[in-house]
Structure 1
Amino acid sequence: MRKILLLSLFSYSLFAQNPIETFTKDMEKKDGFLPYYWDAKKGKVYLEIKQFDTELLYYPSLAQGIGSNDIGLDRGRLGQEHVIKFQRTGNKILMIEPNYGYRALSKDPLERRAVEESFAQSVHWGFEIAAENAGTALVDLTPFLMQDAVGAVQGITRARQGTFRLDAARSALYLPNTKNFPQNTEFEVTVTLTGDSPGAYLRDVVPTPTIVTTRQHHSFVQLPDNDYQPRSFDPRIGYIFTSFFDYATPVSEPITKRYIVRHRLKKKDPNAALSEPVKPIIYYIDPGAPEPIRSALVDGAKWWNQAFEAAGYKDAFQVKLLPTDADPMDVRYNLVQWVHRSTRGWSYGTSIVDPRTGEILKGKVTLGSLRVRQDYMIAQGLVGDFKTDSTNVEDMMGMSIERLRQLSAHEIGHTLGLPHNYVSSIHDRASVMDYPHMLVELKNGKVDLSNAYDKKIGDYDKWSIIWGYQDFPKGTDEKKALNAIVDQMYGKGLYFLTDQDARPEGSAHPQTHLWDNGVSAVAELKRISEIRKLTLANFDERKLRAGTPMSSLEEVFVPMYMFHRFQVEAASKVLAGVNYRFSVKGEKNLETLPVAGKEQREALAALLQTIQPDFLKVPEAVLKLTPPRAFGYDANPRETFKRRTGLVFDPLGPPEAAAGLTLRMLLNPERLSRLVIQSSIDATLPSLEETIDQLVNATWKSSASRAGYAGEIARLVEKMTLDKLLELANNKEVTPQVRAIAMLKVRELGTWIQGRAMADTKQKAHHLFALHQIETAKSNPADLSVTAPMTPPDGQPIESGYDWLAPACDWELPAFSKMK
């Protein structure tokens, strides 16, 4: 006992001789939310901890990016939020993250403790106390800061760009962006990763690709007070949400709770039809964006005030340029940031969210600077006619700037809590949360871009803000009032469908698509095809500025040739399509019904037109004017067609890419499975047999001439069609009946080919090869060799962000904050 007492006195004596003032006497102190000290001699940061067991928010971010859209490690990228608290045990302090995924919303402390002790927590770091005063401890924060907090190593690995590791010797605190504010404390670190075998994406953007140096940021933020009322999620109207299990819920009710994600907003007078807010929502635009882009971003952002006015707020949403003395890292500033990359890529709308309630603390938009150049190039292909270097530039810039306004509004919408609404385009562009295809019109036989993009907020956007941000007068039955808002919105013919319903492969709704316009996907495909036809007929060297290498014509040609691509995806969803909406019990019109047979057959006919030789031919002017790549202008595989002809432009490359897209959409396995099932229930709907017969009739059995260039395209499409049918017949992942019907149709095609006598050598070789493929598939399918079709150049993002999705459209969405 005496030894223990002596040891305790000795420990106390050490701390008594080492108070914070003594320990930090030669250090620079920074007061603020969490006071800290900078030890310049040792290059260390010491954090002062006064409040223990008090929750705050911690999140990392990437202050300086790598600059490659494919790797995805962009400037300003936000990491995951973590509610943390400091907990002391003896001479150690733990940074603990409570588990808010599992809670008990109860006043009973024992009930809450039962849940807390049933699920694991996370300890992010352990600190030894370096010095202390009464109730205040000082810890060395430096080791915690010197880590790869945003997961850059994993990001590089996922992108297959090499094996890297953090090099502590080449990492250090970055003082210019290490700051303290009243509500948040910010630390920034220069982080160096070293590795082997860097991939092409890294080699493109890093001066020494084996050494990747970026800056990572650590934010500690004061959590808001309890004067915020969470709003429960409703699937009928689009809001991002946070969810958790509430074990205090009665057994008769759902245990999962969902809160929408939104900013805090209150009226000064909740009883007034129009009231100023207690505190407005203010977004700041990065002054690093050049003009006229900067003004376009400001204009588009301001559209949201129209929605808040509809919700009864006066000047509740404001937009300003970020002041020169303001710091973008300060949590008090919602920010629209202009980011540069080496290639075009997605834009993002993300938010810092209180995971406990869904309250947005900071909105953060990332806009890629090269996107506007892609829009300009599309306009160049549509209306470019460079008699001089300034000819039509005003029209092309006009469309590009209009797109930027819409993009600004779209990404800010995500940071207000809104996901995509892809069904809004059928109601005259009712939401900026759709992915809009430019509305190109033909006027007096010429392409017109004057109405390419909307110039205001959409009607659906107003209803969504009314539902999510309405501040009801005291005594209002909120649930009843919110249901009434949804009923009014539905009464206007507006409703909500999102990413899961819009993806071209797997989803089935006939009106919910990416990059589309109009009520009917089939009618729009026909309209777009006419615009494409006119544009290709007029496509020549006039699309390039003087002095531009002629080989660069291909980059402008690609989006014109593939101008129909997104409408092909949309029209394909009408075939075996299903009409539905998000609904809840008690509503009327809850039926889920297949698309009528007439509409499905019209879609099939329209799709088959896109694989005809006349549709797929590359214009003669393009073939004559597109030489091999000029020296110093290497082909960008993302922006040019793939080829099987070496350096020379491949006239069959574009037809192969376009036809491959249509065939992939048309013969999507999930779609074919629905055809089998739908036709078995309702004989008036097209069957899989009918669909394949129509495809074979439009290709193999077509009466079109097989001579010349058109003949080579026809044979190419026929081979691709057979390959797809053989693939289906041998695909163990599709339903058995799809395989069976595909196999039957392949055998029937083989019998038809055998009965054809061909004098033309090209056709004879074509038929011989097809019969060989069919026989191989029949006798020894393991030996079947199918040529993989060349894919089109990248289409997305042509103009807008995924917000939820990463560049490859993967679902990498934390439950409540990340939107593209």
Structure 2
Amino acid sequence: MRKLCILLLLVPLFIQAQSGTSIEEKAKRMTAYKGFFNFYWDDSTGKIWLQIDKLDSEILYQTSLPAGLGSNDVGLDRGIMGTTYIVTFSKVGNKILMKEPNFAYRAVSGDAAEKRAVEQSFAQSVIWGFTIAASSNGAYLVDATDFLCRDALQITSKLQAAKQGNYFLDASRTAMYLPRTKNFPLNTEFESTVTFQIKDGRPGAFVNAVTPVPEAITLRIHHSFVQLPDNNYIPRLYDARSPFITNSYFDYSTPVASPIQKNFIIRHRLQKKDPLAARSEAIKPIVYYLDNGTPEPIRSALMEGASWWNQAFEAAGFINAFQVKILPDSADPMDLRYNMINWVHRSTRGWSFGDAVVDPRTGEIIKGNVSLGSLRVRQDYLIAQGLLAPFDTDSLPKDDAMLQMALARLKQLAAHEVGHTLGLMHNYIASAEGMASVMDYPHPMVKLTGDNKITLADAYDNKIGAWDKVSIRYGYAEFVAGTDEATALNKILVDAANSGLSFISDRDARDAGGLHPNAHLWDNGTDPVTGLKDVMKIRAVAMNNFGLNNIQKGTPLAMLEDVLVPVYLMHRYQVEAATKVVGGMYYTYAIKGDGQMVTKTVTKEQQQQALNAIIECIDPAFLSIPESVTKLIPPRPAGYDYTRELFNRRTGLAFDPLAAAETAADLPLSFLFNTSRLNRMVQQKETGSGLGADEMIKTLIAKTWKAPRLKGMAGMIQKQNEQILLTYLLATSINNDASFATKAAMQFAIENINEYAKAQLKTNTDVVYKGYLQLTMERIKAPEDAKPTTHEAPPPGSPIGCFDGDY
């Protein structure tokens, strides 16, 4: 018992001796990395020991993924950025707590008590707790290995959300990655190799496609600790008419008469060397670095396109203030000091996007980070291949117009995604205003020559747009001392509006019930209906020319279907744009006193013209694929998969032209029968300002059910169109989002079809058609069984991939 008491008495002394260990003593056999945060590598244990000497100071902490999964659908791509944190380290006893203050709620006030009241009203987050192992002169040494080797990007959750399997982080196969673990005076960089093991069930198809052993996924996670910028950055207020992404927070020190939510734009810091000069070089130019793994000729195209932004900065009064360079071999693309344009490889084509590391306190952009999918260029090439049918010889045409178009698209893509990292949102009305912005999504400007041949010579613009210059002036222009900045910024936007430039962004353009007739993705021209008719003419020429010359010699004929899809659906985005005219309304983001037009309903005549053009796109003659083409497409040979890039089929391995027609007919009807559009239309009719939903349906029924009966494949497409239309009528009639007036219009139309079917049954002698009519009447009895596709059926076909996490 006496020995036990002595041992117990010695335990506190042992703990005290341990906590009194100096950093020098603890780390004497480790490799030291001196820099922003000194740290040590213990090779015998595989541990990182972090020296924390910046207590209660704000530090930027950023996670990222330098080595990705390679599947577009999961989204864990090389180069993506994780959450940006502002953290502080606080000592509590033998612990160091890494905390994130809550910058979404503040009191921008000199009153300490007022600030404290807000801080205590909203939760903060303790991200990690470290145990102190040694200390010297106010610095503390902690084991940071578990912190750096954790699932900092929530990869297991992302895999589960994508239905790729239930994975867990396997610590036995996770370790530090020393080649990318470095230290610098203003930033400290760590990287770890992390392995995720399947817990139960099977890995998903996307993981199976890209991982050598799908049960074990090994990636790398990067951690950056960076000194925050100084306090000399001046935030700029956001204006609803401007295109900038916002940095917002609630300021509880705001007087009651003023808005509590504060909105500032995000942007890079840029200052003139000579603030009095109309044009001046910058104190520190904005420099972007292109991934040095990008091959030629793609490298040159991306360099050129990204560099277009210097045109906008020149117009804003800066000389050579925006530059693009190749990343030096000695530089690390994950280093937050480098704005990056990454060239990302995936197993399938997918989105490109622009992201940014932003100081949440001020909105200052610290790092721009662009990710460009490498397979996108091949899809652009395929679109050109389908339009030109160039392979009438055994070799490529010398000028290779397809490659030139694809490279021109890459230039625009580079400019577009860099634009996001400069702080800009999309502007989807720009294509209707003379291609005013690279921040729109441009469909290739395909044209017909005098001899009715397709040319891609001017498929894409080759410069920054007029709206982009307005945007950079608003966000980055410096004003001479004494200038009222608010007045100067307002003048920039008012002058732009007076010159015919405007701004409509994502929420408006992407809404399935799209309201603004000129705000759309992948459309062209000032008028969507005229644009649709132009595209239909070009599609007709391409379909008429379609055949063996659309693929190279030695290519399996089954691959003709891959080329056919974008040609057959070439009109898909322009027809969607035209649907926005029906039940549409022009509007601006007007503010009180700026004199802009606020709202204006599209006239009934314009809506009817749009509807007529849309109906031409479901005409059986338009949707029929020539038998000469279908006979050229056999089942795919072994080794060539059926992918989502192809049409759905109900014919087994055989090509299904009826399914292709169903996809193309369903698309415009799915947009026309969006419930918010229908609800607007019944209201517009009552106020005498637009086309009624009942009038639209009457026209559709007249052009389908009550049109002259067709034979052969055209007749099958006609019946299919009728049933698709009936599906939308039935589904809407019981949709709780539809207004009572809308449901009433659906019920009337359904009864009209029912009575028509009854009358035809009495007089028609065609047994097959009578069976079809009986099927129709049975469907009408069970509206709950009508399941519209809501435009999910078409193969992916955007002329550009987009993540719309892409701003």
Interval containing the TM-score (normalised by the shorter chain) = over 0.9
Residue by residue, what CA displacement relative to the aligned partner does 1:713-740 show, whole Å, maximum 9, x if unpaired? Answer: 1111111111111111122232222112
1:711 aligns with 2:709: no
- For structure 2, which runs of at least 5 residues remain unmatched after alignment? 1-8
Deviations 1:75-132 (A, max 9, x none): 0111111100100112111001001011111112121111111111100011111111
**Counterpart secondary structure, 1:560:** helix
Contact 2:233 2:269 in 1 (8 A): yes
C-alpha separation between the residues in 1 aligned to 2:10 and 2:715? 98
Once the two structures are TM-superposed, the CA of residue 506 in structure 1 deviates from its matched residue by 2.5
- The match for 2:3 is none
SS in 1 for 2:121: coil
Aligned-partner Cα distance in 1 for 2:775–2:790: 17
- Aligned with 1:539 (options 528, 546, 551): 546
CA change 1:288–1:750 in 2 (3 A) is: same
Asked if the contact 1:658/1:792 (under 8 Å) is kept, the reply is: no
For residue 498 of structure 1, what is the aligned residue in structure 2?
505
Are the aligned partners of 2:604 and 2:690 in contact in 1 as well (CA < 8 Å)?
A: yes
In structure 2, the residue matched to 1:640 is 646
- Cα shift readout 1:678-711 (whole Å, capped 9, x = no counterpart): 11112x52111101000100100112x4211111
Equivalence for 1:629: 636
Instruction: Give the distance between the partners of 2:551 and 2:22, measured in 1 at CA.
Output: 72
Report the equivalent of 1:290. Answer: 295
TM-score normalized with structure 1 length: 0.95
Q: How far has the Cα of 1:388 moved from its partner? A: 2.3
Q: Which residue of 2 aligns with 1:137?
A: 140
1:265 to partner: Cα distance: 0.2
CA distance in 2, matches of 1:506, 1:180: 52
Task: Please state if 1:514 is matched with 2:521.
Answer: yes
Deviation at 1:6, TM superposition (A): 11
Distance in 2 of aligned mates of 1:198 and 1:94: 37
The equivalent of 1:312 in structure 2 is: 317
Q: Distance in 1 between matches of 2:293 and 2:33?
A: 28
Q: Which residue of 2 aligns with 1:572?
A: 579
Q: 1:594 to 1:788 in 2, by over 3 A?
A: closer
User: Pairwise mapping of residues 393-792 of structure 1 onto structure 2 (< 5 A)?
Assistant: 394-444=400-450, 445-503=452-510, 505-636=512-643, 638-682=644-688, 684-703=689-708, 705-756=709-760, 757-774=763-780, 776-777=781-782, 781=783, 784=785, 792=793
Deviation at 1:789, TM superposition (A): 9.0
Return closer, same or farther for 1:761/1:789 CA change in 2, 3 Å cut-off: farther
2:799 alignment partner in structure 1: 798
- Mapped partners of 2:380, 2:625: distance in 1: 22
In the TM superposition, residue 673 of structure 1 has moved relative to its aligned partner by: 0.5
1:729-775 superposed Cα distances (whole Å, 9 cap, x missing partner) = 1222322221121011100111122122222233222212112222x
Alignment deviations for residues 452-484 of structure 1 (CA, whole Å, 9 cap, x no partner): 000000000000000000111111111111111
Of 218, 231, 234, the residue aligned with 2:236 is: 231
Partner residue, 1:122: 125
Deviations along 1:252-273, one digit per CA (max 9) or x if unpaired, are 1000011111000001111111
Does the 8 Å contact 1:500/1:507 carry over to 2? no
Amino acid corresponding to residue 30 of structure 2 in structure 1:
M
Residue 67 of structure 1: which of 70, 84, 87 is its match?
70
What TM-score do the two structures reach when normalised by structure 2? 0.96
Which whole-Å CA distance do the structure 2 matches of 1:495 and 1:130 have between them?
Answer: 60
Inter-partner Cα distance in structure 2 for 1:520 and 1:787: 29
Quick one: structure 1 residues 786 and 325, their matched pair in 2 at CA, closer, same or farther if it must change by over 3 Å? closer
Query: Partners of 1:315 and 1:384 in 2: how far apart?
Result: 43
- Separation in 1, partners of 2:223, 2:197: 21
Contact residue 558 and residue 636 of structure 2 kept, 8 A: yes
Alpha-carbon distance in 2 for matches of 1:385, 1:281? 42
How much has 1:793 moved relative to structure 2? 3.7
What CA RMSD, in Å, does the superposition of the two structures yield over aligned residues? 1.7
Q: 1:393 to 1:172 in 2, by over 3 A?
A: farther
**In the alignment, residue 339 of structure 2 is paired with which amino acid?**
N
- Does structure 2 retain, via aligned residues, the 8 Å contact 1:411–1:801? no
**Matches of 2:365 and 2:57, distance apart in 1:** 20
**Aligned partners of 1:122, 1:520: CA distance in 2, in Å?**
51
Q: 1:10, CA displacement in angstroms? A: 7.2
Q: Deviations along 1:230-268, whole A, 9 cap, x unmatched?
A: 011111010011110001111110000111110000011
Deviation at 1:14, TM superposition (A): 4.0
Structure 1 residue runs without a partner (length 5+) = 807-818
Aligned counterparts of 1:787 and 1:144: Cα–Cα separation in 2: 48
1:110 to 108, 113, 132: 113
| Structure 1 residue 631 displacement after superposition | 1.8
CA distance in 2 between counterparts of 1:158 and 1:670 reads 29
Q: Distance in 1 between matches of 2:273 and 2:13?
A: 58
Q: Tell me if structure 1 keeps the 8 A contact 2:730–2:786.
A: no
Shift of 1:559: 0.2
Alpha carbons of 1:441 and 1:681: their partners in 2 closer, same or farther (altered >3 Å)?
Answer: same
1:789 to 1:262, Cα distance in 2 relative to 1, 3 A? closer
User: Structure 1: how far apart are the matches of 2:127 and 2:462?
Assistant: 47
Shift of residue 182, structure 1, vs aligned partner? 2.2
Q: Which amino acid aligns with 2:282?
A: P
1:314-350 deviation per Cα after TM superposition (whole angstroms, max 9, x unaligned): 0000110001111112211111000100000000100
SS of residue matched to 1:740: helix
Say if 2:261 is the partner of 1:256: yes
Counting only pairs closer than 5 Å after superposition, residues 222-371 of structure 1 correspond to structure 2 as: 222-371=227-376
User: CA shift at 1:621, angstroms?
Assistant: 2.2
What displacement does 1:192 show? Answer: 0.6
Change (3 A) 1:647 1:8: closer
Do 1:660 and 1:720's aligned partners in 2 also have CA atoms closer than 8 Å? yes
CA distance in 2: counterparts of 1:787 and 1:476, whole angstroms: 57
**Total equivalences in the alignment:** 794
Look up the match of 2:6.
none
Alpha-carbon distance change, 257 to 786 in structure 1, aligned in 2, over 3 angstroms? closer
Looking at structure 2, the residues matched to 394 and 611 of structure 1 have their Cα atoms a distance apart, in angstroms, of: 34
Greater CA deviation, 748-757 or 536-545? 748-757
Identity between Structure 1 and Structure 2 (%): 49
Shift of 1:591: 3.0
SS in 2 for 1:351: strand
d(CA) in 2 for partners of 1:753, 1:215: 63
Distance 2:555 2:206 in 1: 26
State how far apart, in whole Å, the 1-side matches of 2:527 and 2:413 are. 24
Deviation at 1:393, TM superposition (A): 6.1
Any conservation in 1 of the 2:171–2:195 contact (CA below 8 Å)? Answer: yes
Whether the aligned pair in 2 keeps the contact of 1:504 and 1:573 (CA below 8 Å) is no
Report the residue type matching 1:748 in the other structure: N
In structure 2, relative to structure 1, the CA distance for the partners of 1:393 and 1:772 (3 Å cut) is farther
Distance 2:511 2:401 in 1: 32
CA distance in 1: counterparts of 2:11 and 2:269, whole angstroms: 52
Contact map agreement 1:385 1:392 (CA 8 A) in 2: no
**1:12-35 Cα shifts (integer Å, max 9, x gaps):** 55444x211110011001111111
For the residue of structure 2 that corresponds to 1:263, the secondary structure is coil
- CA spacing shift, 1:796–1:237, aligned 2, 3 Å: farther
- 1:413 touches 1:433 (CA, 8 Å); kept in 2? yes
1-structure distance, mates of 2:11, 2:558: 82
